[in-house]
């Protein structure tokens, strides 16, 4: 991968979460996460890494164990995403040379993740909270340069609302891709998010 996580997030701060993707499916984002509860997830990750690893930052989501992290490292992919704040998992990912994007739900978890070396933190599940107010409150204490990324319930219509109160990036799930979805639909959804980002940047 020629570009760093930080550089790609500055370019377009959205991670495509392709839950349910099969090895012969792909998408057009520069940061792609294949959750490990997808069918044959490591095969998908390895295939994407081999075909697009020089253009796109590929990773695994829903990483829960050291064994899964080891298998991820073996694919050559460089991004580890997990739904929780596991300090030892984050540290191990960084030692292995991966970018780490753990989930958090409280300020304590966010700071624990950052102190462990996380490159970004994802507020998950964001839809369980009055998220705009929560992001605003977190933004008052979390370092401004932190990639604070709501995940869950993000749509093209509310991207600007989140960004206005301190979010700096997003993880995009079913609003971008659903299992079995056509390439055309995925492209349409992706363009809607890209247009929302471009409109905000104007």
Mind telling me the catalytic residues?
Answer: 33, 122
Q: How many residues does the chain have?
A: 202
The string of DSSP letters for 124-186 reads TTGGGS-HHHHHHHHHTTS-TTS-EEEBSS--TTTHHHHHHTT---EEE-TTT--TT--HHHH
Number of H helices and E strands in the chain, helices first, is 8, 8
Write b or e for each residue in 63-78: b if 16 or more Cβ atoms lie within 10 A of its Cβ, otherwise e.
Answer: beeeebbebbbebebb
CA distance 165 to 157: 15
């Amino acid at each position: 991968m020629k570009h760093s996580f930080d550089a790609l997030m500055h370019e377009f701060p959205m991670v495509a979460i392709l839950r349910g993707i099969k090895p012969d499916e792909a998408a057009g984002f520069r940061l792609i996460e294949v959750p490990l509860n997808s069918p044959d997830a490591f095969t998908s990750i390895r295939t994407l890494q081999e075909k697009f690893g020089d253009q796109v930052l590929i990773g695994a989501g829903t990483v829960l164990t050291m064994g899964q992290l080891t298998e991820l490292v073996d694919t050559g992919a460089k991004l580890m995403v997990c739904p929780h704040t596991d300090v030892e998992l984050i540290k191990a990912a960084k030692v292995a040379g991966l970018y780490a994007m753990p989930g958090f739900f409280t300020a304590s978890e966010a700071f624990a993740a950052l102190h462990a070396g996380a490159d970004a933190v994802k507020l998950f599940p964001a839809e369980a909270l009055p998220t705009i107010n929560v992001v605003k409150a977190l933004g008052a204490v979390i370092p401004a340069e932190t990639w604070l990324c709501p995940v869950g319930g993000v749509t093209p219509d509310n991207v600007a609302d989140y960004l206005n109160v301190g979010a700096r990036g997003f993880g995009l799930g079913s609003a971008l891709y659903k299992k079995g979805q056509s390439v055309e639909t995925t492209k349409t959804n992706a363009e809607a998010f890209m247009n929302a980002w471009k409109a905000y940047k104007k």
